[in-house]
Amino acid sequence: MEKSSESIDVIQELVLLFPSHGLTFKLMSPTTKFLYAFLSVVSQLIAALLLGSAVLPAFNFVRRSLSVLASSMYTVGGALLFCLSLGLAFVIFGNTLLLLVIAVRTVFRIRSFERRGQLFSLAVLGSLLYNLLIQLATLFYLPLLRSSALIVWFYRGMGARIGAGTVIATTRLWDCDLIEIGEDCMIGGQCFHRRARHQWIPRPTEARAHRFACHHRRQ
């Protein structure tokens, strides 16, 4: 049986369209394969640098606490205080990591923007770095901040335009430069965006406020 020309084209060149950016994915050339592997290693080094820098103030805090509580470590009160210092150290680590992520994005002007081109190309290098920063925050600390004002401040720092009074209970926001959320919105915990422009358009239900609620569904 002969293969149709259409199936041959599919075999020779795989093309997947990403509606969010109009990106196409093709079989990688040897040069692209090397670049992809190299960037994978570099991303690990960037992650290690950011995580290590975030751990440093937490480590200093624990070391100071240990020196202060050294004489009472084997008492119940001393053990409780030391465990408390470990918990506070994690909070210090998490908030330091979020600040570092925002600082790196701001200093190096890493942005997410609408574009067209091949997935494995220099055109999407900024997006890869941007998503690496978001992923580090999401993996290590951001879930603890769901529904708090801190997660709203973080996403604003990553470029999202979020109105006053909005509550965000999800950590599934990506490409924040392309996100706009109105005032007094509620973004549910199972909500994540899949629209072409990665943009929420809240519907006005009151003169001075917008309402948008998403629970257990894709947007």
Query: Can you spell out the DSSP letters for 49-99?
Result: HHHHHHHHHHHHHHHHHHHHHGGGTTSHHHHHHHHHHHHHHHHHHHHHHHH
The pLDDT of residue 7 = 43
Please tell me the distance from the alpha carbon of residue 199 to that of residue 191, in angstroms, as a whole number.
Answer: 13
Please tell me the distance from the alpha carbon of residue 115 to that of residue 128, in angstroms, as a whole number.
Answer: 13
Query: Can you spell out the DSSP letters for 118-187?
Result: ESSSGGGHHHHHHHHHHHHHHHHTGGGGTTSHHHHHHHHHTT-EE-TT-EE--S----GGG-EE-TT-EE
4 lies in the same domain as 112: yes
66 lies in the same domain as 135: yes
The model's pLDDT over 135-186, given as tens digits with 9 standing for 90+, comes to 999 999 999 999 999 999 999 999 998 889 999 998 988 888 888 888 888 8
Assess whether pLDDT exceeds 60 at residue 128.
yes
139 lies in the same domain as 155: no
Please tell me the distance from the alpha carbon of residue 137 to that of residue 66, in angstroms, as a whole number.
Answer: 28
126 lies in the same domain as 158: no
Please identify, among 143, 168, 201, the residue that sits at the C-terminal boundary of a domain: 143
The model's pLDDT over 69-92, given as tens digits with 9 standing for 90+, comes to 887 878 888 889 999 999 999 999
47 lies in the same domain as 103: yes
User: Which helix (H) or strand (E) is 210 found in, with range?
Assistant: strand 209-211
77 lies in the same domain as 41: yes
127 lies in the same domain as 196: no
167 lies in the same domain as 59: no
Residues sharing a CB contact under 8 Å with residue 138, sequence separation 6 or more, in sequence order: 171
The pLDDT of residue 185 = 85
Please tell me the distance from the alpha carbon of residue 67 to that of residue 61, in angstroms, as a whole number.
Answer: 10
51 lies in the same domain as 74: yes
Q: What is the pTM of this model?
A: 0.76
173 lies in the same domain as 96: no
124 lies in the same domain as 154: no
Lowest mean pLDDT among 17-31, 110-124, 185-199: 17-31
Contact 141, 147 (CB under 8 A): no
Please tell me the distance from the alpha carbon of residue 23 to that of residue 116, in angstroms, as a whole number.
Answer: 5
162 forms beta bridges with 181
The model's pLDDT over 60-72, given as tens digits with 9 standing for 90+, comes to 999 999 888 887 8
Which residue range forms the structural domain that includes residue 117? 1-143
Please identify, among 143, 172, 187, the residue that sits at the C-terminal boundary of a domain: 143
111 lies in the same domain as 25: yes
The pLDDT of residue 28 = 62
Assess whether pLDDT exceeds 50 at residue 6.
no
Count of the separate structural domains present in the chain = 2
Please identify, among 86, 114, 143, the residue that sits at the C-terminal boundary of a domain: 143
